A and B are shown apart, each in its own frame.
Chain A
Amino acid sequence: MNVPVPSDPSMSVFCLHFLGGSAQSWDRVMAQFPSGLRGVAIDLPGFGEAAAGPQGYAVADMADFVAARIAAAAPGRWMLAGHSMGAKVAAVLARRAEDGQAGLEGLVGLVLLAGSPPAPEPIEAAKRQEMLRSFGGPAALRDDDASRYVEQNVGAPLAAEAARAAAEDVRRGNPAAWRAWLEGGSLEDWSARIGVLRVPTLMIAGEADMALGPAAQHRLMAPHFAAPTLVTLAGAGHLLPMERPDAVARLIAAHAAGAATGLEQRYQALIDGERMSERTRAVLRARGQPDEPGSPAALSAASFALLRAVAARVLPQPEPAAIDLAARLDAQLASGPGDGWRFAALPADAEAYRLALETLQAAALAEHGAGFVALDGPRQDALLQRAGAGALPAGALQPDALALWFQDLRSDLVRLYVAHPATLARMGYSGVFYGGDGEPKPGFAALGIGAREAWEPQSLQDATR
């Protein structure tokens, strides 16, 4: 079982916009992508720079258009992110990729944001008529309508500049393309053709999205995917890439990290198999969910930012990082039962973290005139090295206590990291696959040196040696 790992470690994400949007609706998302992720936003026919471009606005036409762009880019491993109308096009492309269409090799992940489903999208007749009236005719008539269209589709108002840019996109769309989607594309039924897709899929929904929110995604979209993950963004409406660019970027990056090797897909099949108990499966599924961005629960925002920077040095993950270790650690500090003991030289866990981070920050400021987060990697490492050696100046914590905290930190982070199914997949770890729920319980027979049962997964390290 060999896993192809291309020499170029980066991955492309092709981003498809919503009805009335354009490539630029993805700008603020792509700006947040980590270095290993290359965003490529595409203007669909009739929109953005392609407003007056090639004709052909049916779903299949749009898919052909995008497929040609992808084939031309020859991206190696790539992902598709589709927003609303773009999601329907993305699902069609994923079907073609799974069917082996030339030029579409290498699709490793799909992200659907407030996606329009493969089946006809339920749009109220009045709403459809209103949009046709506003955007299906001459451009001059629809300046106000464009602004209102944006306002109606967000959970909370966008910043003025973002709202203005979005409305401008809406206004410049080709009326024929609008009409084609409202009277054609959105009503096309692709459900039978798309069937069930195997590609790892992340669905993101806005809680306040009236038409294509979490319930609609669960009902209309989820059945088309073998193992979809659904994330709901609290308070968000329909225009997710513009409303929540940071969160969307982080979720896409995490999904990309999981999809990067393809190892996870095979591991997922084992998790779904009969060797794993239902309870263990439920635990791993829950833990494998992407981290939903939010405010820290135990730490202040400043301490949390510092913890995030520290975690990235103590347990570096390939960019994009799959697991938000700092967020999980913060949640654990806020709610966890602890591990049954603590160093008598340290206060209770959450307080110890707060004081330790404060000490670290003070040392960074004293020595470099800049906060820890602003330092480069080697400088951050040097401070952590000395913290671990009890060699940082006394601050909120004494040097010896800080060294003990650094021990706790390493332990806390690595436990969260290794317990995550993405890490277990990387490790080629077979141990969780025993017992199932029936009798007799499957165990292990191949036990000696070098003994491996045929189904046991291989580690990434071994697979790429």
Chain B
Amino acid sequence: MRLDGMRRHALTDTVDAVVIGTGAGGAPLLAKLAQAGLSVVALEAGRNHDPEQFTADELTAGEIYWLDERLSAGAMPQAFGANNSGTGVGGSMLHWGAFCPRADPRDLRLYSEQGVGTDWPLDYAALVPFYEEVEAFLGVSGPASYPWEPARRYPLPPVPLNAPAEAMRRGCDALGVRTSHAPVAAVSRDFEQAGHGRRHACIACGYCHQGCRTGAKASMDVSYLPLAVAASAEIRAECRVHGLERDAAGRITAVVYREDGVDKRQRCGAVFLCAGAIETPRLLLHLGLANGSGQVGRNYMGHVATQVWGTFEPEMRPNKGFPASLISEDMLRAPDADFAGGYITQSLGIVPVTWSDQVARARGLWGQALVDAVDGFNHVAGIGINGDVLARDENFLELADEVDELGMGKPLIHFGYGENERRMSRHAVRFMTAVWEQAGARDIWSMDRAAHTIGTCRMGREGDSAVVDPFGRSFEVENLWICDNSVFPSSLAANPALTIMALSLRTAGKFLSK
């Protein structure tokens, strides 16, 4: 994005706030603070990209993934990088899928309703105004009437269904399961974005995860960040934060970061840590900060993201079209569930290196079987879920003894399913296999997979069991705020980005109301 004309601050200035990270957590609040007239500087570890230069080559797309090494342990070691972690001005939103359901009200009070998991310290009504603001600002495309909340309205008509979506609709129709055009943060028609300019209608290229070249997808670099810069925010790319200086009273006085191999200090009045559920707790653990609760790094979660794939007689060409253009929320509370919580179901488009990697790694094919599978790519389509994961003591992030070039311990992430996740995944395999059989697929196979990074700095009402309060403010460091997926007390079935952005606006509002 264009940064050449932006306002710049001196290191000796004490800016009102420094925002660490420019993704879904950092970008909306950066815009809000700047619009309120505050002097704000965002520090982004990654570089500033020209979206025009994003490419259909999946290996080159590594440039927008966070490739610093993370160590994966536990019964279900998690893949990072392309799977869930971005870098660059815009953060992980550069590669997000733009599938943006809202959280289900029941998921926010799972403990009250089902006796497991955790209630959020806020309810759905508290989020709705922020959801509506984000959806309107980004131009979310969706159905005229949403079957699971008929009063909900989306600002733009839906994006077209692709072949996997048509197949899923066919299969679900046969089973009596409701489906709908998905809520999608890619504009279905040209859209004037405040602070940025025109975002052209989605051209159905299917490369959302490799970076959107047209601006159709609501990445932060074509939405909240230009708005922030227009309101005099400064964004410094390729600046990696590794220290926070504090005064005798414990308030943060400066953020220490490395740029071009040189450590610099930006003096500031407040810090918003928005680096995601891995790097946010990692920095706090590295500094021994804000962890009186002992909860930093705990409650690492993701989503049950089981997928089912099949081969169809006609060509499906699953790379074409918006990848997840159909949704069903019928399994958010499945009538025959033997588990707590539930899952959202979506059709799956995919591009070939990513898909083949799954076939080799997860399905375990090799030899001629792998070659044949790759050759048949044009005939495959998938269906997948996003399901709530319960926090478990066994799932957490700590710092490894190995350090990176900044001297920070590499993050070591332990993750595995509990019984609830195993049951949910089995249920989903049965359901999706039935859908695919009804849709006419053959050679149907499933893969266990978890998605997203969630938890590790949970919000709560009490400082002895949570890292931040219900607005994202540290219980211990008075001028430290956290806003990203790390603050989620539970993972919710909905994909996280929309809720992170809503929380970001809510956190900004609270900060400004002080």
Contacts and interface: CB of A to CB of B under 8 A. Distances in A.
Contacts of A433: 56
Contacts of A440: 200, 203
Point out which of B70, B315, B321 has the most chain A C-beta atoms below 10 A from its C-beta: B315
Interface stretch (B32-40, B329-337, B372-380): B372-380
B356 A449 contact: no
Given A280-B55, A340-B80, A429-B377, A452 B315 contact: yes
Contact of A444 (B204, B214, B371): B204
B396 interface: no
30 contacts: A280-B60, A316-B371, A317-B371, A338-B69, A340-B70, A341-B81, A342-B69, A343-B77, A344-B77, A344-B400, A388-B364, A407-B361, A411-B357, A411-B360, A414-B353, A415-B58, A427-B374, A427-B375, A428-B378, A429-B378, A432-B56, A433-B56, A440-B203, A444-B321, A447-B163, A449-B315, A449-B316, A450-B314, A450-B315, A460-B375
A414 B368 contact: no
B350 to A, nearest CB: 10
Contacts, number: 208
B285 interface: no
A434 B65 contact: no
Interface in A154-199: none
Nearest to B77: A343
Nearest to A457: B378
B163 A449 contact: yes
A61 to B, nearest CB: 45
Given A338-B69, A431-B319, A435-B56, 12 more contacts: A280-B60, A313-B366, A315-B370, A344-B71, A345-B77, A407-B361, A419-B57, A431-B206, A447-B160, A447-B320, A448-B162, A452-B315
Nearest to A349: B69
Contacts of B207: 431, 434
A341 B356 contact: no
Interface in A405-454: 407, 410-411, 413-415, 417-419, 423-424, 426-435, 437, 440-452
B255 interface: no
B483 interface: no
Contacts of A4: none
Nearest to A388: B364
B505 to A, nearest CB: 29
Given A419-B58, A459-B377, A449 B167 contact: yes
B85 interface: yes
A340 B453 CA distance: 14
A428 B317 CA distance: 10
A431 B374 contact: no
B352 interface: yes
A46 to B, nearest CB: 47
B53 interface: yes
A350 to B, nearest CB: 13
Contacts of A219: none
B78 interface: yes
Nearest to A433: B56
A316 B56 CA distance: 26
B160 A340 contact: no
Interface of A: 276-277, 279-280, 283-284, 313-317, 337-345, 348, 381, 384, 388, 404, 407, 410-411, 413-415, 417-419, 423-424, 426-435, 437, 440-452, 456, 459-462
B85 A340 contact: yes
A424 B69 contact: no
A411 B353 CA distance: 10
A50 B72 CA distance: 67
Contacts of B352: 418, 424, 427, 429, 431
Contacts of A449: 163, 166-167, 312, 314-316
Nearest to B414: A344
A339 B67 contact: yes
Contacts of A316: 367-368, 371
Nearest to B58: A419
B412 interface: yes
Given A313-B367, A339-B81, A449-B316, A443 B205 contact: yes
A342 B71 contact: yes
B62 interface: yes
Given A315-B366, A345-B73, A449-B167, A339 B351 contact: no
A451 B360 CA distance: 28
Given A277-B55, A414-B360, A449-B163, A338 B67 contact: yes
A427 B85 CA distance: 29
A448 B352 CA distance: 18
B66 interface: yes
A337 B62 contact: yes
A438 to B, nearest CB: 11
A434 B320 CA distance: 10
B368 A435 contact: no
Contacts of B368: 316
Contact of A443 (B68, B161, B204, B365): B204
Interface string B81-125: 110010000000000000000000000000000000000000000
Nearest to B68: A340
A13 B513 CA distance: 79
A353 B435 CA distance: 41
Most chain A CB atoms below 10 A, which of B65, B200, B316, B357:
B357
